[in-house]
Amino acid sequence: MSKRNIFKSLPLIAFLLITTVVNAQNIDIRILRDINLNRNQSLDPTFKTISNSVNTISIATPAVIYSLGLLKHDKDLKQAGVFIGETFLVNTIITTGLKRGLQRPRPFITYPDLDKQSAGGSYSFPSGHTSDAFSTATAVSMTFPKWYVVAPSFLWASAVGYSRMDLGVHYPTDVLAGAIVGCGTAFLTQKLNHWINTKTKTGMFFEHHHSSIHHS
């Protein structure tokens, strides 16, 4: 295709992109309204409790596991606690960066008809509560890959994500993105730890090898 034809196609491409974004936004708010405005209001306290549990569980989980490792003199448990804690911190940094970079307004700001039932101070995309919950659930599941750990972990994380829509503070796409970011952060943290450990071991090998040659 020639440059001239490409330039002629730009308005059509722009129109299609705008149409896609508008349609996606329409679907987003339609789903959110259906969840938020038609919710069972007697469950609001339950969903608020689930939503508010994120920071406590995400911080307490690595702290408790690490403490058990200290008490039992179990190196693997201590490493597990550190990994889960690292995942939470890395996820917080990535999620905060995305929020500030994209600056999507909260849905109740754009659509005042929504019934806001929870705090929502920062930007909307992605959902921080959801990303924190899924990062913790994924890290715990990677560390203890048993069904009785994996199933409750992701059930809790999914309930957190739903609660953010039920309470009117996040779009479905915020929650979906939060889940993806949270899960991805756990795997990213694992890869970073593996890379750092490999580099450290390699450096120690060369240092030891160099020292052996020097003393021979």
Q: Where are the domains of the chain?
A: 3-215
Q: How far apart are CA 137 and CA 140, in angstroms?
A: 5
> What is the number of H-type helices and E-type strands within the chain?
7, 0
| pLDDT of 42 higher than 50 | yes
pLDDT confidence of residue 207: 52
**What CATH topology corresponds to 3-215?**
Vanadium-containing Chloroperoxidase; domain 2 (1.10.606)
Contact between residue 130 and residue 179 where contact means Cβ atoms under 8 Å apart:
yes
Summarize pLDDT for 169-203 with one digit per residue, the tens: 999 999 999 999 999 999 999 998 888 777 666 55
pLDDT confidence of residue 83: 94
pTM score: 0.82
